[in-house]
Structure formats: C-alpha cells, structure tokens
Structure 1
Amino acid sequence: MSAQVSKVGQAGRGKVVAITGGARGIGYETAKELLARGYRVAIGDIDEVRLKEAALELGIDTYARLDVTDSESFGAFLDLVESEVGDLDVLVNNAGIMPTGHVHEEEDAVTRRQVEINLLGVIFGTKQALNRMLPRGRGHIINTASLAGELPMPGLATYCGTKHAVVGFTEAARQEYRKAGIQFSSVRPTFTNTELVSGTAGVKGFRNAEPEEIARATADLIEKPKPFVRVTKVAGGMVTAMKFVPRRVAEGLATVLGGENVFLDDVDQEARKGYLERIRQS
C-alpha cells in the first residue's frame, strides 16, 4: 500500500516524508499540512490506538507503532516507509514530551524518559535516516527543538536541557553533512497549544503558538531549507534579543513576565493529570 494524498499540490511533488509523534499535536498538523501540499506522508507514534485514528482521519495508509527510543523500532518504521511509499526524502523528528515541576521533585524515570524521547529519539532517527539518504546523496532531516532550547525556563530544566541538546546536535550534524547533499534544520517553537502545555497559562504578553503554525513553518522549511526557524516571530525575536542584554536584566524581565512561576506554582496539576499519566505509560 502507499500513502494517500488528500490534495495534490505542486510544492510537494510527491516527496516522501516520515513524521514521528504523528498521531496528535504538532506531528498530526504537520502531516495534514504536508498532505495538502502534495507530499506523500507516513506517520509513526507509540500510541497505537490514536495512531490508527489519526491515519484514518488524514487518509494515510502507511503508519506504524514507533518507539523512537529503540533504534530497531525506528529502523523498522523507515523500512516500512520506503517499501510502501518510496525512498525517504524527509524525516521530521517531532516526538517529544514536556513534564513540568521542580528538578528535585522530578522522578528519575520521568527524567530518563525525557532524555530518551526528546534527545536519543532524535539522534537514533537521524542516524537511521542518514544510512538511507547518504547513498543517494540527498535528503532532509528536520528536528523539532524549542525556543526553550535557547532560553532557560524554570520548571522545565530537564526539558530545556534536552532541547538545548537537540539544537546543538542538529547544527553540528548540519555542518558535518553539508557537502554530502543532506539538509539539516531545526524548528524552534514557542509554547504551543497542545497537550504539552495543558494546565499552564503561558508567559504574560506572549501568545502561545497554534500547532498549525508550526506545521506551516515545517513545511516551508522543506520547500526552502535553512538551518532553523523560530515560531512565533515575536517570541523568537524576544529570545534573540535576550541574548544581548545583561543577565540581571534578562532575569528581571522574566520575573516581570511571570516566567519564574508559569511552569511551577501556576500550573494546574489536575488539568495536566491525563497528559502525565499517558506519557508515563508510553
């Protein structure tokens, strides 16, 4: 079987894209956007029930349970994509989790899970994709990072650490393979209205992004590759500006905007309960 395209567009020209964490949130919306632009899309996710529902909703035939922390699982997913859809042109390493809370209270299992999914999953996926792309001398790997990978946020220390690592890994890999025909990009969203931010109010003065915005930015990166994109422009501009002001000023501004508590004391834990239970079971 091959992936069905909901609308044939000129932009995609039949390119094959595999998306991790494609059953919901940013991954789901990215698949939807790419299908509309004429790409052939396959999705993987660890949640098999939701994965099947998403594939049916999107009109995608090629999908598979994917544990991004298992290199063999990742390899099997990409093998399936290439056997059913075609040679892999683009891999979007999107899967990720974002628990909140104080570092000293974070369960070791939750810490480990963030590192495994958010970072090792990206590295494993990149290696598996490179092994397929390098012999062909073409391909594009897009890693979903975060503006939290550039600007620290209390209550998200481990998450920030993993996203800092994704930013660094992607840039190093981009330079390593820039002469081999392989493109590397990172997408750096602000906090986005998905399950990841359930129970949180956001930073004062800055709106959360919508997953459709991240999807469009990812699709645009495929069509016009560049090293990274920040979404939203306002939040991205703020993050850039904060790098050029004294630390005490930056930290003082964060306090004024409520950044010190938005992922700590101001979190509605009951509203996040379902999300946290799901990621612990994944």
Structure 2
Amino acid sequence: MTKTSIGQSKVVAITGAARGIGYQTAKELTRRGHRVAIGDIDEQQLKASADELGIATFSVLDVTVADSIDRFLDLVESELGPLDVLINNAGIMPTGHVHEEPDAVTRRQIEINLLGVIYGTKLGLKRMLPRRSGHIINTASLAGELPVPGLATYCGTKFAVIGFTEAARQEYRKSGIQLSTVRPTFTNTELVAGTAGAKGIRNAEPEEIAAAMANLIEKPKPFVRVTRVASGLAAAMKFIPSRLAETLSSSLGADTVFLDDVDAGARKNYLDRILTN
C-alpha cells in the first residue's frame, strides 16, 4: 500500500503499545506514513519496541493514572504536534471462575480495561475539542458483545467500553470529533496464551487488527469487528433465542475454553507480568 501523503499524515498516540495489537498497530501506522508515539507500563519492552519500530517519541505510561496519560499526551504534542488520533488500547485478560477471582485481579481489570479508556477519552477530547478535529479509537472486543464463561470481569469491562464509547460518540457527534471502537475476536497475542480458542473459529492475528485500526483512521465509522466470520457470528447471535445461542456457544467449546481447558502453566508468565506491573 502506498504511504500516506504528508498532507494526510496524522499524529497518533497509542497506549499499551509495547506488545501485541498495540505494537502491530504502531508498525502499520508508521508504515503508512503517520507520526506515531507509543506508551506502555513495561519500560524495558517499550524501549525495545520503540527501537525496533524506529519510533522516537515514547513514554512509560500507567493508564490507571490520569496524570500519567496527560503527561504522555503532553510529550506527544510537544514532539510531534497536535494530537489527531488517540488509540486507547491497553488491556489485560485474566481467566477463571468468578468466585475464585481475587478482588485485586477484578480491580486491576476494571482500572486498566475501563478506567484507562475513560481517562484517555476525556483527556483526548479536551485536546481535540478546541480544534473541532480528532479521532479517539477504543479497543473493545467481541467479548464486549457476547458473554464468555471464564471471562466474566473481562467481558464486563469490554461491554462497558462499547457502551461508554457509543454514548460519548453520540454526545460529540456535532463536535468534529470521531469516536470509534475496534472489536476483535480473540487474537494471537499473550492474552490468549494457554488457550485453544473456539472450535471451528480461528483466532485473529494482531496484524489484522492493526490493519483494521489503520483503515478506521483513514475512513472513520462507529465501530469495526474483526474477523469477518467472528463478526458475522456476533451479529447473528443477537437475533437467535437465548437458549439456542447458549447451545450453539457450548457446541463451539465456549463453556470450557477459558475455564477447564486453560493451560495454567502456559499463562503463568503473562499473568505474572500483568498483575505485578
């Protein structure tokens, strides 16, 4: 694909960008000629990723602290110019039974997956509204449309991200600011380590989500789902009687894929990192 022309090049800030979807999105946007800044709580991996991507503007970032996001955006605007696009991407996904989930893990998911998005959106709006221009993209999930056993708190945060973003989008629809969600199916990053996925439905690759993000910047719309098959399933489930939907979901293995079928050993490194940083 031809790189974006200078006149169309945008200043883009991405949270949670040291790995996974955030990293691949930064890579894709840089390839398309946008001016990209990345933030992440993992300082060592952040520096390594910035070096790999050739990105000079980056900062350690804790999305659970509004002042940390604000400082990151200050850096972005001081080095790259006025913020055009903010991608609130940071998120974590522990698995397990609700009654066994420690309260600290519940709080951690809400703070990162939901409060981080709300804080980022508010701070992005404050910078964009005076210019009546900008785009805020919040990473949600198809798990924010379809409930998944073993991911109750995660689903709750992603349902909330979709609801929050849609309400804000309508609130600011005449302001010149675009608000969108990207809703991936389960994606082959560390988030799904030790899980096998639903039967007959492939996981997405992070490059696919990155391309969807980049396309959304170039042609804004309220939301995009990825992949096409998972998107169709998510849309169809809303029109199927609940008992039939649950039977179909069970037949795909959704009842156990994030519970009994999880390889705890394969997830240990991921969980240790997300719950201690």
Q: 1:77 aligns with which of 54, 72, 79?
A: 72
Structure 2: how far apart are the matches of 1:16 and 1:30?
A: 13
In the other structure, the counterpart of 1:25 is 20
* Cα distance in structure 2, aligned partners of 1:30 and 1:165: 23
- The answer for unaligned runs of 5 or more in structure 2 is none
Give matches, 1:85-234, under 5 Å. 85-234=80-229
In the aligned structure 1, how far is the partner of 2:4 from the partner of 2:174? 30
Aligned equivalent of 1:56: 51
Provide, for residues 120-144 of structure 1, a one-character-per-residue CA deviation record: whole Å limited to 9, x for no partner: 0000000111110000110000000
Deviation at 1:232, TM superposition (A): 0.2
Give the direction of change, closer, same or farther, for the CA distance of 1:148–1:11 in structure 2 (3 Å limit).
farther
| 1:1-25 C-alpha deviation (Å, 9 max, x unpaired) | xxxxxx9533882210000001000
Question: Matched residues in 1 for 2:6 and 2:226: separation?
Answer: 21
CA RMSD of aligned residues (A): 1.0
What is the correspondence of 1:251-270 to structure 2 with a 5 Å cutoff?
251-270=246-265
Contact 1:93 1:143 survives alignment (8 Å): yes
Residue 102 of structure 2 aligns with an amino acid whose one-letter code is E
CA contact (8 A) 1:12 1:37 kept: no
Q: Which amino acid aligns with 1:168?
A: G
Alignment deviations for residues 12-51 of structure 1 (CA, whole Å, 9 cap, x no partner)? 8221000000100000000000001110000000000000
Moved over 2 A (4+): 7-14
Q: Is the 8 A contact 1:12 1:34 kept in 2?
A: no
> Partner letter of residue 246 of structure 2?
E
TM-score (norm 1): 0.97
The TM-score normalised by the length of structure 2 is 0.98
Residues matched between the structures, number: 276
From the superposition, tell whether residues 178 and 267 of structure 1 become closer, same or farther in structure 2 (CA, over 3 Å): same
> What are the ranges of 5 or more consecutive residues in structure 1 without an aligned counterpart?
1-6
Deviation readout 1:105-124 (Å, 9 max, x if unpaired): 00110000000000000000
Return the alpha-carbon distance in structure 2 between the equivalents of residues 33 and 96 of structure 1: 20
How many angstroms apart in 2 are the aligned matches of 1:27 and 1:122? 14
SS of 2:8's equivalent in the other structure is: coil
For 1:59 and 1:95, how far apart are their aligned partners in 2?
21
Change (3 A) 1:186 1:265: same
Query: 1:280 offset after TM fit, Å?
Result: 1.0
Change (3 A) 1:185 1:71: same
Q: For each residue in 1:193-222, what CA deviation from the matched residue of structure 2 results, as whole angstroms up to 9, or x when unmatched?
A: 000000000000100000000000000000
Separation of aligned partners in 1, 2:208 and 2:107: 30
Offset at residue 80 of structure 1 (A): 0.3
Q: Sequence identity of aligned pairs in percent?
A: 74
